[in-house]
Amino acid sequence: MVKVLIAGDKFVTNNVLRESLAALTPAPTIVEAESNFPLDPLADIGDVHEAVGDEDELIAALQGVEVCISHTMPFTARVFANAPDLKLVVIGRGGPVNVNLEAATSAGVVVTNTPGRNANATTEHTVAMILAAVRQIAQRHSELARGDWRGDYYQFDQVGPELHGSTVGVIGYGAVGSRVAAIMGAFGSRVLVFDPYFSGELPDGMHLIGDLDELLRLSNVVTIHARATAENERMIGAREIALMPENSILVNCARGSLVDFDAMCDALDSGHLYAGALDVFPFEPLPADHRILNTPRLTVTPHLGGASKEAARIAARIGAEDIQRWLDGKTPTHVVNPEVLQSR
């Protein structure tokens, strides 16, 4: 009988994972471990990133285990070296950065992920952040809650634009970017898309722009949905923000490494940007005195874009489907280190 380790956390919980595995056949033996994410923030552990958990505890839990489904546990080279029975690791997130893929491949362990598991949640959060930035909802709420009714915000030079008729630039046209683009189009926005990896056709009314600078020059609202790589670190810096029209809006609910935050704050302080919104930051959590938290017209949330009950359940369901394929002797659908299959 196959032994499966459920290693969830406080978001993708063990209960959610257990429910997703209930229909597996043949029924495996289930053992459990748990990390303290998100109460403990994501961090670099050993040779992996954005992880939470203890390597030694994970190694102990993996003894005799062939399959593990997890979300944030640190699957380092040391873990793979000390888990001789492990054959399959399923990570309930789009980017399995908490797994040393080279070490997994060397150990003959198949690694899968759950792409798109939080696409709807992140899309909804991004659209909410765009609206909050345009309408300055959080700022006006805070003032009104203090008893400060500011009628001067209705003056022409204080109000923001409408999305209807605005040009919205979408950087990255993947699972999230494509959904955001569709919703912006439904608002009546002219939608421009920049994605050097996209080669398909866009829906009617959307325009693929081959040059990022051109998209920035034309867009009243820019929203970022690229996956972070070494090549696109700080892809939006002072030069790029200066290309954006006066009183434009910049939103980042993707990854903190994609934006030069000092440049963004400078542009908000100077008034070049009308507003901004951030769900991701240069490091997390932010200290209470960080500049970002004291910049006017900047709406912030603590990296909650992908947080929904449905996202956790989708991750568990996709992971369970790949485990079932593995139990059936088939190749899992979402293998991220396919080279390991060549040696099987």
Active-site residues, by number, are 255, 284, 303
* Cα 39 to Cα 60: distance, rounded to the nearest angstrom: 23
Say if strands 48-51 and 43-45 run parallel, antiparallel, or are unpaired.
antiparallel
Asked whether the beta carbons of 89 and 110 are under 8 A apart, the reply is yes
What letter would DSSP give residue 112? E
- The torsion angles phi and psi of 6, rounded to 5 degrees, stand at -90, 120
- The torsion angles phi and psi of 133, rounded to 5 degrees, stand at -70, -45
What letter would DSSP give residue 259? B
194: how many CB neighbours lie within 10 A of its CB?
Answer: 24
H or E element at residue 194:
strand 190-194
Q: Angle of helix 309-327 relative to helix 119-135, nearest 10 degrees?
A: 160
* Cα 132 to Cα 276: distance, rounded to the nearest angstrom: 9
Beta-bridge partner residues of 248:
273
* Cα 285 to Cα 322: distance, rounded to the nearest angstrom: 33
Length of the chain counted residue by residue = 344
